[in-house]
Structure 1
Amino acid sequence: NIKKGQFLAPGDMKQVVNKAKEANGGADTIMVCERGASFGYNTLVSDMRSLAIMRETHCPVVFDATHSVQQPGGQGDKSGGQREHVPVLARAAVASGIAGIFMETHPDPSKALSDGPNAWPLNKMEDLLHLLVDLDKLVKKAGFAEQTLL
């Protein structure tokens, strides 16, 4: 799973994948992961177009919903986060047709040793996952209208 650098354009992942395939003998075991792009100070923005662009790598595309809401350095000596936006971004990513989703969770995010501000509470995870699975089935059944333009 290769995470796109938060400074990197999604189209640049083609070259990253090519290099990785050279290194692993061409094995078809690579996934690419979107986790937002740096925007100003202490802010990441997830551009859903990047998920479609990264599909052009011909690798499964994964969306990291919790790191996408991270605020690097946003609390001075540590990173902050906006976990309330995790479900919004997760739904949008699944609606775009991603192959997988990544989310950090914790029973009590305020006590997590790492990434607590952007972790999704464990007691809310099951409901969110059921919703995302239902949405994924609907989207993949309907197909991708944008592919009719190619």
Structure 2
Amino acid sequence: MEKFSVGAVTIPDETSLFFIAGPCLIEGREMAFDVASALRSIRDSENVSFIFKGSFRKANRTSAGSFTGIGDIEALEILGEIRERFDMPVLTDVHETHEVEQVAHYVDVLQIPAFLCRQSDLLRAAGSSGLCVNIKKGQFMAPEDMAMAADKVSRTGNSRVMLTERGTTFGYHNLVVDFRSIPKMGKTGYPVIYDATHSLQLPSAGKDVSGGEREYLLPMARAAVAAGVDGLFFEVHPDPEKALSDAATQLALKDFPAVVRQLQKLHACLSA
């Protein structure tokens, strides 16, 4: 697997996991800075690499009345500030081709949401930005088919691609993770990430919002490390119950250092 860099983060790193982490949605400068500051502290104390994650806008919500963001430019400027102030690469989602050029000025990684992973024009636009592209596997996609999504990006001349497992539709309002998908996607030659947050989502199961089963987060993340992921994706929030998006699955920020520490130890045991 060919290595590449995102800021100071080397992907993949055989000696260590890397983490994509941050709030589901940029709710304001103070909260986003609090999360970024905590991640920087974990990074420095545990000697791990972080990419800060925060959606500048949520384009896919269960209800028309759900909160979608504080405003595109304000949220993007906060992401840009985090990149500079905390010396940490930044990731956000893009939903339509016209967003790519504007968003690319503020971040280091463009993420393709799972529902959009087959959108050829969006994949090509993201690839043409020259930034790293993280493609989330659709809830409806076979893992081996993600090679074709990655190919749409790489044909632009951009080989900095990551693939993310986030669960597969299992009947109504439920997801299941087939951990065979991790080595299967690994055969594409691209780094594989496990999204511990959205794999435990219960889509639209909370009446007008999505539910989730956060209590299974750690055992599922352990299984992903054992299956050979290169990195892990977590949404973290200072007070998940008050989060304006994905409140049922975000991890409390205070609990995150112990999770990182345990997963790093497991990875080290498997690498020994």
**Shared fold, TM over 0.5:** yes
Contact 1:64 1:101 in 2 (8 A): yes
Report the equivalent of 1:6.
Answer: 139
Distance 2:250 2:223 in 1: 18
Aligned with 1:66 (options 193, 197, 217): 197
Unaligned 5+ segments in structure 2 are 1-133
Residue 39 of structure 1 aligns with an amino acid whose one-letter code is F
Distance 1:46 1:69 in 2: 9
Report 1:21-36 matches (<5 A): 21-22=154-155, 24-25=156-157, 27-36=158-167
Contact 2:153 2:159 in 1 (8 A): no
Report the equivalent of 1:37.
Answer: 168
Aligned with 2:234 (options 99, 103, 106): 103
Aligned with 2:245 (options 114, 129, 134): 114
Distance 1:31 1:46 in 2: 18
Residue 81 of structure 1 aligns with an amino acid whose one-letter code is G
Contact 1:34 1:50 in 2 (8 A): yes
Distance 1:29 1:91 in 2: 26
Distance 1:57 1:16 in 2: 11
Aligned with 1:55 (options 179, 186, 192): 186
Distance 1:48 1:106 in 2: 26
Report 1:71-86 matches (<5 A): 71-86=202-217
Aligned with 2:264 (options 129, 133, 140): 133
The CA RMSD measured in Å over matched residues stands at 0.9
Question: What does the per-residue CA deviation read over 1:27-52, in whole Å, with 9 as the maximum and x for residues that have no partner?
Answer: 32000000000000110101111101
Q: Where is the strand percentage greater, Structure 1 or Structure 2?
A: 2
Distance 2:208 2:248 in 1: 13
Per the TM alignment, residue 140 of structure 1 is displaced from its structure 2 partner at its CA by 2.4
Distance 1:140 1:50 in 2: 20
Residue 114 of structure 1 aligns with an amino acid whose one-letter code is S
Contact 1:97 1:140 in 2 (8 A): no
Q: Secondary structure at the match of 2:149?
A: helix
TM-score (norm. length: structure 1): 0.90
Distance 1:95 1:121 in 2: 24
Per the TM alignment, residue 94 of structure 1 is displaced from its structure 2 partner at its CA by 0.8
Runs in 1 of length 4+ with deviation above 3 angstroms?
A: none
Q: Where is the helix percentage greater, Structure 1 or Structure 2?
A: 1
What is the total number of aligned residue pairs between the two structures? 139
Distance 1:45 1:113 in 2: 25
Unaligned 5+ segments in structure 1 are 142-150
Contact 1:35 1:64 in 2 (8 A): yes
Question: What does the per-residue CA deviation read over 1:46-102, in whole Å, with 9 as the maximum and x for residues that have no partner?
Answer: 111110100011000000000000011010111001000110111100111110000
